[in-house]
Amino acid sequence: MKLILLGAPGAGKGTVAKLLTEIDGSVQISTGDILRGAVQVGSELGKQADAFMKVGDLVPDELIMGIMETRLQEPDCDKGFLLDGFPRTIPQAEALKVLLDKIGIDLDMAVNIDVPRDVILDRLTTRRTCSNGDCQAIYNVKSNPPRQEGVCDKCGSPVIQREDETAEAISHRLETYNEKTAPLIGFYEKEALLITVTATSSDAVITAIKEKLEQ
């Protein structure tokens, strides 16, 4: 499957993407994970992205398109891909359309995961992430804590609160979402690719996506 996952920070895009990869081997492509990995190893990309990410601002479109142009042409994308956190602005969506035309790929759909704001806020403040750039497993101190406090179940690295998950950065990320990313819902509606799923459980989102793909 070739899907775009849309939704506010904390809507569950990453969790849904991971579950979908298990269905047919499609790969999850998370621009947030790629950028955090780059910051951690201190690459040129990481140095350019770091200051934007810390405060909850978007990284410039040109940097993101540079990453995605390469990533989408890697061989593992032949099996399908789940775009998680990209596109995030109208210019990125337009550039993606041109890129996919050029490399001859058709999207199946763009899934808008719609979650109430109070649920989002609660999730973001209780979310914890594995600090290992190659793992980045997601936990929640209330609903899904690691077996041993502060230690990743999967790789044993420290589980931390992301730097952009302070109250201030979270509210800035939500504003940025409303202003820059929410307009993509209308964009993909016009492209006749949009489905909206209103659900707070990732299993319910998966079921809705499967049903739609089978139609």
The least distance separating Zn ion from the CB of residue 125, rounded to whole angstroms, comes to: 21
Establish if 59 lies at the interface with ligand ADP (CB under 6 A): yes
31 scored as a contact of ligand ADP (CB under 6 A): yes
E strands, the chain, are 2-6, 27-30, 81-84, 109-114, 127-130, 138-140, 159-160, 194-198
Q: Is 88 a catalytic residue?
A: yes
User: Which DSSP letter does residue 180 get?
Assistant: I
- Whichever of 74 and 175 has its CB closer to ligand ADP, that residue is 175
Which residues are paired to 3 by β-bridges?
Answer: 82, 109
| Segment holding 164, helix H or strand E | none
**Interface contacts to Zn ion, rule CB under 5 A:** 130, 132, 135, 137, 152, 154-155, 157
Q: How far is CA 103 from CA 8, 98, 124, in A?
A: 29, 9, 36
Q: Would you count residue 88 as binding ligand ADP (CB under 6 A)?
A: yes
**Binder to ligand ADP among 32, 37, 46, 146 (CB under 6 A)?**
32
Q: Is 173 a catalytic residue?
A: yes
Q: Is 187 in the site for ligand ADP (CB under 6 A)?
A: no
Strand partners, 59: none
Task: Point out which residues bind ligand ADP (CB under 6 A).
Answer: 9, 31-32, 35, 52-53, 56-59, 64, 85-86, 88, 92, 164, 173
